[in-house]
Chains A and B, each alone.
Chain A
Amino acid sequence: MSLIELKDVGYQVGGTPILQNINLKINAQEWVTLSGPSGGGKSTLVRIIASLLSKTSGTLTFDGQPIEDYDPITYRRRVSYSFQQPTLFGDTVRDNLSFPYQIRQLPFDERRAVSGLEYVGLAASDLDKGVNDLSGGQRQRVALLRNVMIYPEVLILDEVTAGLDAENKAFVWSLVEHFNQDDNLTIIAITHDQAEIDAAKRLITIEDGRIVGGAE
């Protein structure tokens, strides 16, 4: 059984179709890359999968159950979505890394935060660094770390490497590889980057709101 299954999923706004007849099965621990021209509906699709938008037709099941059967909050803790050009919350890196604990009313695991920071190439002392003192690449790493402080099952990445230099891109990508290989996270990543498209394990192309290649 697939972890995520979309059948004839459509989405329209005021009569204008944004997505049509999306049929897609994603297995647990799979790494799926979505590409296609801008405005083709990729972000809309992943936002529907992340339960940030609701489809207007078709069915979407997660772990065999229709998405409507899940409480959206609990579901989003299992299917985590990371934005392009993320906003960092509060004043410091700590405010961001402790957020996933705060919303679950759990004590902040500072040790895990520190080892996470070191793993993404930042220092333990950066925990109390102001978010405005971070570079673009560092912001993206902190945001990504925020998504995985408490592991989700699915990590959705919406062009998270866009706007980063080659070195940062490669680094972020190696992190995602680690999440997928070592921590068994299912990855759904949108990208326009040719190298990432070439390296895709499973590539799905979306154009004009339809899947034009890659779905089975």
Chain B
Amino acid sequence: MNLAVNNQSLMLALGLVVIALAIGWKEKLGIDRDMIVGVIRAVIQLFVVGYLLKYVFRLNNIWLTTILILIIIFNAGYNAKQRSNGIPRALPISIGAILISTSVTLGVLMLAGAIKFIPSQMIPISGMIASNSMVAIGLCYRNLNAQFKQERQAVMEKLALGADLKDASKEILRDSIKTGMQPTIDSAKTVGIVSLPGMMSGLIFAGVDPVRAIKYQIMVTFMLMSATSIGSVLACYWAYRGFYNDRKQLTI
């Protein structure tokens, strides 16, 4: 393997941050503090994660791996909730949707023999699934909020004609689920021709034959489709009722 990053080369690469800082300072962007905090946080977080993963991989314990996956899912759910802008019960909805989308996807991958229940595979793959599900759910929430506001009168008119909540919200639900899945579909369309995504790049970087590396990337594409669709559908269907009260009236 030709992996040669050492502490010295990292210090030299820090020069790249200095360039960014210089631009920020010269253009008076007012983001130098943010940049410095960002860089310091990234370095600390990655060092901690690096040592933690090294320990976990060496221990190779089922329970510890499961707990780490659950922590990833909780964090992803908490982050998705931050995008909910007041949607009731957004935290349990987000965690539930990410938990199910991650479990189903991981389960299928394991049954198919694509991955094994060992920490060095389960943890990075769970992180990828949960974070994509998290982004999709965040987009769903934003779209639900925007659409219920924008389509308020149309929804009220449907209710006034005697539609139930699902019929009154159908277009909004459909649109929100689509919005949640769109980035995954778009990146599936351009994978390999615009970017060489993380999984594949990492393997190629580590010296794996590109023809083998793409097989993993194909697996990632499939799993992200499944994760974002399950996550979006569950989150939208669980969340939309929060826009109505128990007398089935729109409350926005």
A interface residue numbers (CB < 8 A to B)? 50-54, 68, 72-74, 76-77, 80-83, 86-87, 89, 99-100, 102-104, 146-147
Contact = CB atoms under 8 A, between A and B. Distances in A.
Contact of A50 (B160, B245, B248, B250): B160
Given A54-B247, A54-B249, A83-B153, A73 B164 contact: yes
B154 A87 contact: yes
Interface string B57-100: 00000000000000000000000000000000000000000000
Nearest to A74: B162
Interface residues of B, number: 17
Contacts of B160: 50, 52, 76, 80-83
16 contacts: A52-B250, A53-B249, A54-B247, A54-B249, A68-B247, A72-B248, A72-B249, A76-B159, A77-B162, A80-B162, A82-B160, A83-B157, A89-B157, A103-B161, A103-B162, A103-B164
Contacts of B157: 83, 86-87, 89
B145 to A, nearest CB: 19
A83 B247 contact: no
A53 B247 CA distance: 8
B76 to A, nearest CB: 36
Given A52-B156, A83-B156, A103-B167, A146 B161 contact: yes
Contacts of A74: 162
Given A83-B156, A87-B157, A103-B167, A51 B162 contact: no
Given A54-B247, A80-B161, A99-B158, A87 B167 contact: no
Contacts of A87: 153-154, 157
The 7 closest A-B pairs by CB, nearest first: A77-B162, A81-B160, A72-B248, A87-B154, A76-B162, A103-B163, A103-B167
Contacts, number: 58
Contacts of A89: 154, 157-158
Contacts of A80: 160-162
A12 B147 CA distance: 27
Interface string B178-219: 000000000000000000000000000000000000000000
Contact of A52 (B164, B167, B249): B249
Nearest to B244: A72
Contacts of A52: 156, 159-160, 249-250
Contacts of B163: 73, 99, 103
B249 A51 contact: yes
Nearest to B166: A103
B202 to A, nearest CB: 47
A76 B161 CA distance: 6
Nearest to A54: B247
A72 B158 contact: no
Contacts of B159: 52, 76
A86 B157 CA distance: 8
Contacts of B158: 89, 99, 103
Contacts of B248: 72-73
